[in-house]
Amino acid sequence: MKQACALTSLSRSTISRLCTETSFPAPVPLGQRRFAFVRSEIDRWITNRIEQRNVR
């Protein structure tokens, strides 16, 4: 989560909310209380946001 926050400059709560809304790549469960994000999915999410910005 720390790296996802750093990559996107979003807070933990914002990323959690976006995941709940399915507006952010879903985390991969690693254990009962551990999870990870796939870097390439976050990079793609960022790229899509940039492309959307350029369309407006």
Q: What is the DSSP secondary structure assignment for residue 36, as one 8-state letter?
A: E
Give the domain ranges of the chain. Answer: 2-55
Q: What is the DSSP string of 12-25?
A: HHHHHHHHHTT-SP
- pTM, entire model: 0.85
* CA atoms of 9 and 34, how far apart (whole Å): 21
Query: Given pLDDT bands bounded at 50, 70 and 90, which one contains residue 30?
Result: very high
Residue 54 has a pLDDT of 81
